[in-house]
Structure 1
Amino acid sequence: MTEYERHSYDVIVVGAGGAGLRAAIAAHDAGAKTAIVCKSLLGKAHTVMAEGGAAAAMGNLWPEDNWKVHFRDTMRGGKMLNNWRMAQLHAQEAPDRVLELEEWGALFDRTADGLISQRDFGGHRYARLAHVGDRTGLEMIRTLQQRAVALGIDVFMECTITDLFKDGDRISGAFGYWRENGKFIVFEAPSIVLATGGIGKSFRVTSNSWEYTGDGHALALRAGATLVNMEFVQFHPTGMVWPPSVRGILVTESVRGDGGILKNSEGRRFMFDYIPEFFKAETADTIEEADGWYTDKTNNRRPPELLPRDEVARAINSEIKAGRGSPHGGIFLDIASRRDPEFIMRRLPSMYHQFKELADVDITREAMEIGPTCHYVMGGVEVEPDTAMSLVPGLYAAGEVAGGMHGANRLGGNSLSDLLVFGRRAGLNAAYYAVRSKSAPVTVTEEEITAAEADAVAPFAEDGGENPYSVQSDLQDVMHTLVGIIRTEAELEQALVDIAALRDRAAKLTVTGGPEYNPGWNLAIDLHNMLQVSECIARAALERTESRGGHTRDDFPMTDQSWGRKNIILKAIGDKIDLSIQPLPVMPDELQTFFEEK
């Protein structure tokens, strides 16, 4: 066994996006000795891609808005498959978490009377997204990062966690390596918070950056935790499609929230053709298409482009498949004909520069070419709603890596407030658990460390094996083609066969060179996580014989009400993935009444 660093903390937070930073701040404030371990650089997180705003029922533009309406919107957006308690806590606590950010220095856009401005977003009854132009996630990261640094929280940057340790059934620590030099590092801690984000790099077209390889999901599985409803993968309706080098990069929903409309190659605004019966029932007697809006029963006028993301993504996919797509395989998003250049430059500065610099498109003068891109996974680590703890004592999860909060489909803007609400809860409860654990300290053994090291360096010992980039490329093709936005039984069964073959190939990966900044070695380690999580997605998608939210089965196109009372739970048993069905937690009667109100 080679030499390694060893550190001891009360709480280790894996991931430095919004959820990880908020968890670390909460744990520190609760008195825990806390460290943040991040795969990339501090501040380099997918949180910055959440550009539109943080959803919180503050009532600054619509006094009628409140947590009950936000809760109802979230549950309906999630097709009623959300963990009701998580949705309730989120709706109740989001306003305080946004105000807390403001107290820490976040600079939000303002209304005329000085309140935090709020904008429209898909699936939200009222304009409730607190925002900073189209750079809200960046401002959130800046604020939380500055707060964490000011508090003196230790940060281990460019450090990848490869294994979690357990003492009996409890978490005892983590094993990782420095990407700079390949040296190993061991953390002893009774509490670990996973805040590692999503799984998008398993798909060919994604808005996610290179870090999103399902690390937290796989770490939790191997530690004995469960994943819930991994079939629900959100394809954001609007990602760039041209040029190929930028395919998948996110185009914020703020463009549609600020008046952008979707058109096909015939120049026709097509979204009125795709308003679901559920939403038609929510509107007034007539849908006002003349001026491009429909009016709901609260007289809140909304464009059909602001239907929930799953509805918009399927509509775009249908137009493309019908041959009415743009020259490069997308459709058109037009704000130039709806807003003057000054408005666009003020409200959407990042989008203007993104298209101008990457695609040579001036969005103040011409339409954007966009199409669906893998963006977010609603499924994740199964956690207890109030504490954010998994089934494994001492292991917590918050943000995108945690499941349950968003049900079958996440509403735009709910991600930023989700990571604030549950990042704080995870950090606090991880600190409390660490204090309670002091009477029975956990230990990490040399045998565990030796085994983790052997797994990490295995690709260097294999001669004539597979190139990890070839395996990843083939995995992305499988997931994009067979487990994408539209699924069938035959394709999902084939995907599982292909993933099994890829796992066999991944068992014999070969990397050359040394461990210092070796991207092939880094990917070889990540690839095992990607394959395990991809199998979970495909297996759950095959099991759910209906279409709901982010899961569309072409062979089962309707929503099956019996599936609306079930969760699909996945657990690792050795190298196998075990699947079981559990009943959805029953919502209390007092919350049920919210859905009876008109």
Structure 2
Amino acid sequence: MAQVDRQQWDVVVVGAGGAGLRAAIEARERGARTAVVCKSLFGKAHTVMAEGGIAASMGNVNGRDDWQVHFRDTMRGGKFLGQWRMAELHAREAPDRVWELETWGALFDRTPDGRISQRNFGGHEYPRLAHVGDRTGLELIRTLQQKVTALQQEDLAAHGDPEARLKVFQECTATRVLKDGGRVAGAFCYERESGRFFVLEAPAVVLATGGIGKSFKTTSNSWEYTGDGHALALLAGAPLLNMEFVQFHPTGMVWPPSVKGILVTESVRGDGGVLRNSDGRRFMFDYVPDVFKDKYAQTEDEADRWYEDPDGNRRPPELLPRDEVARAINAEVKAGRGSPHGGVFLDVSTRMPPEMIKRRLPSMYHQFKELADVDITAEPMEVGPTCHYVMGGVAVDSETAAAQGVPGLFAAGEVAGGMHGSNRLGGNSLSDLLVFGRRAGLHAAALAAAPGPRPEASPEQVDAAAAEALAPFHAREGAENPYTLHQELQSAMNDLVGIIRREDEMAEALRRLALLRERAARAGVEGHRQFNPGWHLALDLRNMLLVSECVARAALERTESRGGHTREDCPAMERSWRPVNLLCRPVEPPPPDPAAGRIRLERVRTEPIRPDLLALFDREELVKYLAEEELPA
């Protein structure tokens, strides 16, 4: 039996971004002893890259905004595939979560009369994003980090130990959710610096690990986003929902190559930035879908009038939902009207004076000045689509954030599926992680406090997790290099399951993934467990290959184009697919052949949308989106 340190907790939170910290704070305040597993340094989570703002219908800039409009925008942006109850709870509770942050010390930008300022973003009918310049995610993480520290100071005063009821395990990774029968029993983890194994025993585990972007070559995501939580849920027996929907943010940096994919926040367009092709023309007018023509401008003059009177004119097409803008940019580049380095031009200098750009977009100004030697106050940026966000994720209960089929497992933030449907609106990610991070922590603490014996992971299960983690050190002759495998995986996903998809290419992607899976079983590393990034990547490959197979299989199965899933060979959005969710489940028992598929698909029907929520939409719109049997009488 492996010698592994075991610790007893009530709730284990895997991930220390916005969702994880909000869950941990809630669980701790509900009386649960809470451990947080943080893959990087505390406060360095990828949430800091969500720069534009937090979507919440506070009505501070336009008093006509309310939760019903926010709900409608969210469902419309997700092409009606979103889990309607999640979208309703999100829209109702988001303002409270923003005001709560302010009471915890968040310093938001203000309106002239002193209220929290809100800006425009794509797909939102009214200015709705509470913001701190273009560094909102950083302020959110700073505030939650400060709240965690304050709670630890309370424990220091009360118990003489700042980590008595809330501890953050920095630079640690969870590799398995441990179970006792069907119930969660904790998590198997290791320290990245030393390689030391340890077990956090708890009846409730909250997954808050973010996304999957490091499976793609061009991505805005940080190094942590290797699909850890998605894979942990799958391996624990929980299904993943609608993994075909991957959002390609329309504006990532395209030059120089060393920064390709780094995010250019949507707040650039929200504050007046326009997109132009190599001919200097604002091309987005050519790509406004029919369903949006009553809300978006058709000419440049009409778009310009909106900046003077947002209530009386139609919005500029640069503020269409992200999937529409990304496809339009991709089409311009393919038509030969792209920028010199394979993108298009984003220009904010013609509408905003230099000092205003530096004040409202300080991060973007410094990012381009330092990384690309471009002064955005005087010249345009080169931008193009970059893998940014996965709408699919762990199938969860809308009210409790509990994962389907695995008692004690919860998920919140990007790792959870259902909230955003087929496409996420900008700014909804930060309010999503606050709303459902809180709900996950609340219900995880309640489960942990329930009477009855605590689940306990068997020594054999811990030994198996340790052996799995050590396997790369025992690879025989002909061991595969994990870095080579990772590069080939990224190329396969980027080229074959990217922004535009075809049946033959996705079938080829599945073939390549099978070969990579077989080779990854032989991934080998040298040296010791201490300070060994090659070993960390070898372990991450398991997760990326599992999640990539989910994306490819689901994308091949859904024979329509909807939101972040665009099929060149099936370009229409089919009403018959609207009420269909695709669940990815692991093949059980795992096949002995490493090359064999690990994922099976299951089709399930979505729950009908509540009639009072359907009444918020025009019947013409419902006829376009809903299946025949779903239409109200």
- TM-score with structure 2 length normalisation? 0.93
> 2-side partners of 1:545 and 1:16: how far apart?
37
Q: Deviations over 1:478-497 (max 9, x none)?
A: 00000000000000111111
Q: Which residue of 1 aligns with 2:606?
A: 584
Say if 1:336 and 1:367, in contact at 8 Å, map to a contact too: yes
Tell me the equivalent position of 1:549: 563
Give 3-state SS (helix, strand or coil) of 2:563's partner: coil
Q: Deviations over 1:241-278 (max 9, x none)?
A: 11111000000001000000001111111111111101
Find out whether 1:518 has 2:532 as its counterpart.
yes
Shift of 1:557: 0.4
For residue 390 of structure 1, report the CA deviation from its aligned partner.
0.5
SS in 2 for 1:594: coil
Q: What secondary structure is seen at the aligned counterpart in 1 of 2:485?
A: helix
Listed as ranges, the matches of 1:400-411 within 5 Å are 400-411=414-425
Q: Give the Cα separation in 2 of the matches to 1:495 and 1:275.
A: 31
Quick check: 1:126–1:300 contact (8 Å CA) kept in 2?
no
**Amino acid in structure 2 at the alignment position of 1:276:** P
Please give the residue correspondences for 1:139-178 in structure 2 after superposition, counting only pairs within 5 Å: 139-152=139-152, 153-178=166-191
Q: Give 1:382's aligned residue.
A: 395
Identify the residue that residue 249 of structure 2 maps to in structure 1.
236
- Distance between the aligned counterparts of 2:172 and 2:240, measured in 1? 25
CA contact (8 A) 1:496 1:539 kept: yes
RMSD over aligned CA atoms reads: 1.3
Percent of matched pairs sharing the same residue: 67
2:618 matched to which residue of 1?
596
Provide the rounded CA distance (Å) in 2 between the counterparts of 1:278 and 1:117: 30
The list of structure 1 runs, each at least 4 consecutive aligned residues, that deviate by more than 3 angstroms after superposition, is 291-298
SS of equivalent to 1:59: coil
Give the corresponding residue for 1:492: 506
Quote the offset at 1:294 in angstroms: 7.3
Q: Which residue of 1 aligns with 2:300?
A: 289
**Matched residue SS, 1:292:** helix
Query: 1:197–1:400: 8 Å Cα contact kept in structure 2?
Result: yes
Q: Contact conserved, 1:387 with 1:425, CA < 8 A, in 2?
A: yes
Matching residue's letter, 2:26: A
How far is 1:282 from its partner?
A: 3.8
Asked whether 1:421 is paired with 2:435, we answer yes
- 2:82 equivalent in structure 1: 82
Cα distance per residue 1:385-430 (max 9 Å; x no partner): 0000002100000000000000000000000000000000000000
Partner amino acid, structure 1, of 2:600: D
Pairwise CA distance, 1:573: 2.2
- Residue 548 of structure 2 is aligned to residue 558 of structure 1: no
Cα-to-partner distance string for 1:130-175 (whole Å, 9 max, x where unaligned): 0000000000000001101211220000111001111111000110
In 1, Cα distance between the equivalents of 2:149 and 2:4? Answer: 26
> Which residue does 2:122 correspond to in 1?
122
Aligned to 1:452: 465
What is the aligned counterpart of 2:479 among 465, 481, 490? Answer: 465
**After superposition, where does 1:178-193 map in structure 2 within 5 Å?**
178-193=191-206
Q: What displacement does 1:338 show?
A: 1.6
Q: How far, CA to CA, are the matches of 1:5 and 1:246 in structure 2?
A: 41
Is the CA contact 1:293–1:301 (under 8 Å) kept in the aligned structure 2? Answer: no
Query: 1:299 Cα shift?
Result: 2.6
Q: Equivalents in 2 of 1:273, 1:146: separation in Å? A: 47
Q: Deviations over 1:180-204 (max 9, x none)?
A: 1101011100000000000000000
Give me the whole-angstrom Cα distance separating, in 2, the residues matched to 1:545 and 1:517: 45
Shift of 1:2: 4.2
Counterpart of 2:287? 274
- Seen in structure 2, the aligned counterparts of structure 1 residues 62 and 75 have a Cα distance that, compared at 3 Å, is same
Any conservation in 2 of the 1:236–1:374 contact (CA below 8 Å)? Answer: yes
The C-alpha deviation readout for 1:528-570, integer Å capped at 9, x for no partner, is 0000000000000000000000000000001000001110011
- State how far apart, in whole Å, the 2-side matches of 1:299 and 1:380 are: 39
Name stretches of at least 5 consecutive residues in structure 1 with no aligned partner.
none
Matches within 5 A, 1:434-449: 434-436=448-450, 438-449=451-462
Find the aligned partners of 2:526 and 2:545 in 1 and give their Cα distance. Answer: 22
Amino acid of the structure 2 residue aligned with 1:476: Q
- In 2, Cα distance between equivalents of 1:518 and 1:239: 31
SS at match of 1:7: strand
Structure 2 segments unaligned to the other structure (5+ residues): 153-165, 591-597, 621-633
Aligned to 1:108: 108
User: Are 1:36 and 1:156, in contact at CA under 8 Å, matched by a contact in 2?
Assistant: yes
- Separation of aligned partners in 2, 1:172 and 1:293: 58
The answer to whether 1:480 aligns with 2:494 is yes
CA apart distance, 1:6: 1.4
Superposed CA deviations along residues 55-109 of structure 1, whole A, max 9, x for unmatched, are 0000001110000000000000000000000000000000000000000000000
Contact map agreement 1:192 1:394 (CA 8 A) in 2? yes
CA distance in 2, matches of 1:409, 1:100: 27
Partner of residue 11, structure 2: 11
Deviation at 1:300, TM superposition (A): 4.8
> Does the 8 Å CA contact 1:294/1:304 hold for their aligned counterparts?
no
- Normalised by the length of structure 1, the TM-score is 0.98
Greater mean deviation of Cα atoms: 33-42 or 534-543: 33-42
Whole-Å separation in 1 of the counterparts to 2:70 and 2:415:
22
